[in-house]
């Protein structure tokens, strides 16, 4: 599909780009590292400055107007998130620093309370380090065993033998929704079904899915869902942990301090209601409010439009990149987000990224916080181009051209 046809059918990415000051300030920048973090529209930046310039104050405690305004704006973001992911109950939404903190919260609080020797935690070989390390740490502390669902050559999960992995001993299953390396979108509903059949809970790492696809946690029926604001055009320093309210209610606090208490005495303390029981101390107020603004921006464009457009970008990029001599693309799942990991034969990924950078093209080179995948692929690192709504077909042409020149340089 040509840029014009996409424009008519979906929307004009070049026009969308005008909403992002970074592209105005760096007119030649081709930003293809969106799986790492995303650019921020003017509306999100304005929301942050508006808060600091007009009603900066701490929340949930001030009895004056600007504090009440800040509290209302912060809590409004919780309502926006609740609706955005189809949670149904605002008490399910805990604001954290990001996906990493959300997963650590579950591992420490739920895991610390419920895991014991003989239990199993089931994750997959496809996880980001942030969905591996917290489980390694808590398994070490509690004596539970950590098991891994293996991956197939094409970058999908090997679910051919579920009985081997989903057992009565399995207490929690933690799985990435969309792989940050392969782009694979995993069959969460099927995994939830296997897990619930053996009485295990399911945590979904939605860091890469939520920005790009419609997510409905009620339909997925997962027990925990974690994601980050900065990967969906929101500020850094804000993320979400969704938990079914009855599970969250039963969990011990993760961090202790102000805000999360009901009563404190020298002998002991009682806890605030959920979700505030899990929001100790002064939260990232500006960022949470700015995150609400990012959700507004996404809703304005429309999530299905974003997914459809990115599918077009992916299709086009795959076709273009396949024509580069010596390219090896990792991850060919049918259900795949707009992420392409690849290597060029005999050229180190860091060299590729460095040469592309001289043409103004920003891609990622490295292990993508997924060293077990690198081991499986038998490589130290890969290149990765990842797309978002402000990317254009012309930028993909530039990427392909840059790669072609890189190959020529090395041969």
Report if residue 241 touches ligand PLP, rule: CB under 6 A. Answer: no
Cα dihedral 96, 100, 103, 107 sign: negative
6 φ, ψ to 5°? -60, -45
139 is catalytic: no
Tally the C-alpha atoms within 13 A of residue 193's C-alpha that lie toward its C-beta.
7
CB nearer to ligand PLP: pick between 6 and 338: 338
Q: Which stretch binds ligand PLP (CB under 6 A): 8-16, 94-102, 294-302, 398-406?
A: 94-102
Q: Which of 60, 78, 80, 128 binds ligand PLP (CB under 6 A)?
A: 128
Number of residues that bind ligand PLP (CB under 6 A): 14
Q: What is the DSSP letter of 110?
A: I
Pairing type for strands 120-124 and 170-176 reads: parallel
CB nearer to ligand PLP: pick between 228 and 343: 228
Report CA-CA distances (Å) from 203 to 49, 173, 211: 34, 6, 18
Report if residue 96 touches ligand PLP, rule: CB under 6 A. Answer: no
CB nearer to ligand PLP: pick between 239 and 290: 239
Report CA-CA distances (Å) from 157 to 150, 178, 307: 6, 11, 22
Closest separation between CB of residue 167 and ligand PLP, Å?
Answer: 26
> How far apart are alpha carbons 387 and 347 in whole angstroms?
23
> How far apart are alpha carbons 135 and 145 in whole angstroms?
9
Report if residue 176 touches ligand PLP, rule: CB under 6 A. Answer: yes
Closest separation between CB of residue 217 and ligand PLP, Å?
Answer: 16
Report if residue 207 touches ligand PLP, rule: CB under 6 A. Answer: yes
Q: Which of 71, 208, 287, 386 binds ligand PLP (CB under 6 A)?
A: 208
Give me 209's structure tokens: 């899915």
* Contact string 263-292 vs ligand PLP (x = CB under 6 A): ------------------------------
> How far apart are alpha carbons 271 and 238 in whole angstroms?
23
Q: Which stretch binds ligand PLP (CB under 6 A): 82-90, 200-208, 272-280, 332-340?
A: 200-208
Q: Which stretch binds ligand PLP (CB under 6 A): 93-101, 193-201, 249-257, 348-356?
A: 93-101
* Contact string 337-376 vs ligand PLP (x = CB under 6 A): --------------------------------x-------
Residues within window 99-118 making contact with ligand PLP, judged by CB under 6 A: 99-100
CB nearer to ligand PLP: pick between 71 and 178: 178
Q: Which of 31, 85, 98, 381 binds ligand PLP (CB under 6 A)?
A: 98
State the catalytic residue, choosing from 139, 174, 222, 369.
369
Report if residue 40 touches ligand PLP, rule: CB under 6 A. Answer: no
Q: Which region holds residue 203: left if phi is over 0, alpha if psi is between -120 and 50, else beta? A: beta
Bridge partners, 204 (sequence order): 175, 225
* 207-219 as b/e: b if 16+ CB within 10 A: bbbbbbbebebee
Report CA-CA distances (Å) from 141 to 33, 114, 120, 151, 374: 36, 12, 13, 27, 27
Active site amino acids: 369
The footprint of ligand PLP (CB under 6 A) covers 35, 98-100, 128, 130, 176, 180, 205, 207-208, 228, 239, 369
């Amino acid at each position: 599909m040509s840029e014009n046809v996409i424009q008519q059918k979906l929307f004009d990415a070049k026009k969308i780009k005008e909403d992002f000051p970074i592209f105005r300030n760096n007119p030649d920048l081709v930003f293809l590292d969106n799986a790492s973090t995303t650019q921020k529209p003017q509306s999100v930046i304005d929301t942050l400055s508006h808060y600091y310039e007009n009603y900066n104050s701490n929340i949930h405690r001030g009895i004056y107007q600007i504090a009440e305004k800040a509290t209302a704006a912060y809590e409004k973001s919780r309502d926006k998130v609740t609706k955005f992911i189809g949670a149904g109950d605002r008490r399910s939404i805990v604001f954290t620093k990001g996906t990493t903190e959300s997963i650590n919260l579950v591992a420490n609080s739920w895991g610390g309370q419920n895991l014991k020797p003989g239990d199993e935690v089931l994750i997959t070989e496809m996880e980001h380090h942030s969905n591996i390390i917290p489980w390694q740490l808590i398994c070490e502390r509690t004596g539970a065993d950590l098991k891994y669902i293996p991956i197939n050559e094409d970058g999908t999960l090997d679910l051919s033998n579920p009985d081997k992995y989903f057992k009565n001993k399995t207490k929690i299953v933690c799985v990435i929704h969309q792989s940050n390396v392969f782009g694979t979108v995993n069959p969460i509903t099927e995994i939830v079904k296997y897990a619930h059949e053996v009485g295990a809970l399911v945590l979904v790492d939605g860091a890469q899915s939520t920005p790009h696809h419609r997510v409905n946690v009620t339909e997925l029926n997962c027990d925990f869902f974690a994601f980050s604001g900065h990967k969906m055009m929101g500020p850094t320093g804000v993320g979400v942990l969704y938990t079914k309210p009855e599970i969250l209610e039963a969990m011990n606090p993760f961090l202790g301090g102000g805000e999360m208490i009901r009563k404190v005495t020298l002998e002991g303390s009682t806890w605030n209601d959920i979700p505030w029981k899990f929001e100790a101390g002064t939260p990232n107020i500006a960022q949470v409010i700015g995150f609400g603004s990012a959700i507004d921006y996404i809703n304005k464009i429309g999530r299905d439009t974003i997914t459809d457009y990115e599918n077009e970008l992916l299709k086009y990029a795959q076709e273009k990149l396949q024509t580069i001599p010596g390219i090896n693309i990792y991850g060919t799942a049918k259900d795949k987000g707009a992420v392409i990991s690849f290597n060029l034969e005999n050229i180190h990924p860091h060299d590729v990224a460095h040469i592309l950078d001289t043409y103004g093209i920003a891609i990622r080179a490295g292990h993508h916080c997924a060293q077990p995948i690198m081991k499986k692929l038998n490589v130290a690192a890969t290149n990765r181009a990842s797309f978002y709504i402000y990317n254009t077909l012309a930028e993909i042409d530039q990427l392909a051209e840059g790669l072609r020149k890189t190959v020529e340089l090395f041969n």
